[in-house]
Amino acid sequence: MTILLIDCYDSFTFNLKSLIEQATEEKCVAIHNDSFKPDEYESRLVPFLNQFSCIFIGPGPGNPTYSEDVGIIPFVFANSAHIPILGICLGFQVLCYQFGADVEYLKDVKHGQVYKIQVNKENDDFGLFEGCDNFAGVRYHSIHVRNFTDKLIPLAFTVDEDEVDSKVIMAAKHHKFPFYGVQYHPESICSEMGSTLIKNFYRIVKSMRPTTDVELHDPHTILHEPLFNRLNISKSTELQFKRLESALNPIDIVEIFQRYNQDSLLLNSVSSPGTWSIIGLPINYESKVFTHVRTEDQNVLYTHNWKEEKKEKESIDSFWKELAAFMKERYFPQNTIDGIEVPFVGGMLGVLSYEEGEFINFQTLESIGKDIPTSKLCFIERFILKQNNSGTYFICSIKAGDDNWLNESLDRLHVSHDAMSNVPNSLKDLTNNLTIVKPTQESYDSKFDQCQTYLKQGDSYELCLTDQTFIHLDREITPWQVYKVLTKRNPAPYSAYLKFDDCVLISSSPERFLEWDNEKVELRPIKGTVKLSDSLTYKQGCEILKSSKEKAENLMIVDLIRHDLYNFLSEVAVPELMVIEQYENILQLVSVIRGSFKGSTYSGIDILSQSLPPGSMTGAPKKRSVELLQRLENNQPRGLYSGVCGYWSVNNHSDWSVVIRSTFHYPNDNKNTESTNCWRIGAGGAITVLSTADGEYEEMAVKLERALQAFE
């Protein structure tokens, strides 16, 4: 039997799709709620709907009374009396509104909060909630339904003393047609009895509808073509290496190579949980560089060699297709060196900006300079790996016949060097030509109030509002000096020094975004941050992070990431949910989400291409949240901030961190002057209905301080 799921542009849709397929053991097909135009309803939508055994209508942002938010859903209810339907959240609200109930805004909005669901068993004659009673359900809604007509029968409720009617309806059915709905989200990681609910509904379906098995090739269905079908093994690639035992650290090595005019791209795991550092060594006039520039007027890819000017550009349809096409021909399935498993054996290394992600409106996005790169990557053939829990280095090359370079590099590193000696605590110790321009609290409070309006209207569950600080720094101060000071002040597991011709990133990020290999993928979102002090102990900080506000923030992003993975994979797990981790004097609430590529036609690059911007930097639902944030942030690009940096190795192992607690610079930035370069630091936080303006501004200041302390 084939099942239809109507998606309302929610960021939890594929969690629901996976739950449906697991509970029913049947195929589920998804479409967007605006897939059919009104003039197609009778001629195309009706016969399309009749192919399915049942219909699920998913959650989404907006209001059930607004046609632009609900699309085809009212027509579906009005013209499918013979098809069983189960609506979730927005789908439930449309059902109730369609048949005469009132919909009103809650006095106290519930986003990511867990409540007990109680069942009206005497009304549940078909057993939708059979085996379920007094169970936990996650609520994501600002609107509720009241004043049922005789066409609707309530099936479940929750007690909410903040509302006029303390019994808030959580489920209902139509008195005659096989239409059901639930207000809570059964697909959430913290909801109970979700599978039981779906199984019960499907039992009802099978008692009413004939078996259908539809092979659909309809253009309205949500499908993603893999960026490549398989990786082609490069028969010409050979890894050559020299092993070195040394007390040098990766920063020392970069400085030693600088003596020989050798540029470096450094991913430096300065602190736990990082285990390896990677020093990419671009070859002058040989190493391939990819520069993607996306604006209102152009979507172009420059390909050139390191140190050469960008001249040749090509208009492209998809940056991701170009990247995948290049990498699939260079697959080299080696993952060990000298018997030790290593993360990187050559490949792409660089940064992908926030604007490389989905849902950006380039028509209204402001320009901050000429040809600012949206993404910047270099294909690395020479590199050095450092195992951080030992003194072991591997000097490596996948460039044919590179023995002379390997031997020469080994000889260069048989020296003593201490790059971090005499590094000042602040760049102010190196120059007086430094000014800092921070966002004002007045401006922040105004944007915060707008966020609250959107949240209470149901346009979003969570909005990650950010702003930028500008540092005007003496041009004589080099990016390498900036990196050393920041690393001294804020050592981080995902530290990075990435200096390209048209952008520079100095990162001290604590947050992994996404890691993958041929078998699995892992994401580690951070949501919830507390700074310890003399007046705030570890125990008190933990209590704050266990509050309903902080847990709701983290839960929403976990559910969003599960959705991103279920978009491609059938096996997704959450081995760590809301675990408290400590970095220096900062406590953070961290979750781990993993997916398996077993049986999948997709790979990690498919997931990366559809998962940006990182959900922890947008909020949920992602599409609506990104659109709202762009307006709230005055159409200013976030640039490298809120993007990701990392690598994609030719052995198809990849690791990317979220660009936070970082500073970055563009040589073409409009804010540069004759005597100063503009360095930017972005900071922000997730705003929910439980947030306060003062609390969020203070949290933003804590995050800003981690990078800004290098300049103060």
pLDDT in tens, 290-340: 999 999 989 999 999 999 988 788 999 999 999 999 999 999 999 999 999
The confidence score (pLDDT) of residue 573 equals: 97
> With bands split at pLDDT 50, 70 and 90, how would you rate the model's confidence at 630?
very high
DSSP string for residues in 506-555: EEEE--EEEEE-SSEEEE--EEEEEE-BTTB-HHHHHHHHTSHHHHHHHH
Looking at residue 20, the DSSP 8-state letter turns out to be H
The token duo for 134 is 């007094």
Crossing angle of helices 604-611 and 319-328, rounded to 10°? 160
Question: Once rounded to an integer, what is the mean pLDDT over residues 61-89?
Answer: 97
Q: Considering the chain, what is the average pLDDT of its residues?
A: 95
Name the CA radius of gyration of the chain, rounded.
27
Among the listed residues 111, 185, 563, 665, the single catalytic one is 185
- Would 47 be classed as within a structural domain? yes
What is the model's pLDDT at position 217? 66
For residue 173, what is the domain's CATH number? 3.40.50.880
Report if residue 12 sits inside a domain. yes
Region 13-33: mean pLDDT is: 96
Asked whether residue 7 carries a pLDDT value surpassing 70, the answer given is yes
pLDDT of residue 163: 75
Specify whether 299 is located in the same domain as 175. no
- Average pLDDT, integer, range 45-72: 96
202 and 286, same domain (yes or no): no
Comparing CA positions, the residue from 133, 132, 134, 158 lying closest to residue 145 is 158
Domain boundary among 208, 226, 253: 208
The string of pLDDT tens digits covering residues 114-146 is 999 999 999 999 999 999 989 999 999 999 999
Both 178 and 247 in a single domain? no
185 catalytic? Reply is yes
User: Given 28, 54, 187, 511, which residue is catalytic?
Assistant: 187
Q: What is the pTM of this model?
A: 0.94
| DSSP letters for 501-513 | SS-EEEEEE--EE
Averaged pLDDT for residues 352-366: 97
Residue after which a domain boundary falls, among 184, 208, 232: 208
Look up the CATH number of the domain holding residue 315. 3.60.120.10
| Any domain includes 658 | yes
Is a pLDDT exceeding 90 seen at residue 583? Answer: no
DSSP-derived secondary structure for 216-275: ---TTB-----S-S-PPB-TT---EEEEEE-S--HHHHHHHHHTTT---EEEE--STT--
Distance CA(430)–CA(47), nearest Å, equals 72
Host domain of residue 313 = 240-519+597-711
Same domain, 327 and 178: no
What is the model's pLDDT at position 161?
A: 81
Residue 526 lies in a domain: no
Structure confidence at residue 218 (pLDDT): 75
Is 97 in contact with 181 (CB distance < 8 Å)?
Answer: no
| Same domain membership, residue 634 and residue 488 | yes
Examine the pLDDT at 211 and tell me if it is beyond 80. Answer: no
Residue 121 lies in a domain: yes
Any domain includes 218: no
In a shared domain, residues 196 and 252: no
3-class secondary structure, 152: strand
Is the same domain home to 339 and 483? yes
In a shared domain, residues 127 and 82: yes
Domain contains 216: no
My answer on whether 253 and 325 are in the same domain is yes
Q: Are 706 and 493 in contact (CB under 8 A)?
A: no
Answer yes or no: do 444 and 335 share one domain: yes
187 tagged catalytic? yes
Residues 463, 342, single domain; the answer is yes
Q: Pick from 163, 193, 208: which residue ends a domain?
A: 208
Q: Is the pLDDT reported for residue 273 higher than 70?
A: no
Residues 348 and 400 in one domain: yes
How many domains does one find in the chain? 2
pLDDT confidence band for 629 (50 / 70 / 90):
very high
Q: Catalytic pick from 8, 28, 54, 89?
A: 89
When pLDDT is cut at 50, 70 and 90, the band that residue 678 belongs to is very high
What whole-number percentage of the chain has pLDDT above 70? 98
Q: In this structure, is residue 581 part of a structural domain?
A: no
The band of 215, judged by pLDDT with boundaries at 50, 70 and 90, is low
SS3 448: helix
Determine the pLDDT at residue 213. Answer: 64
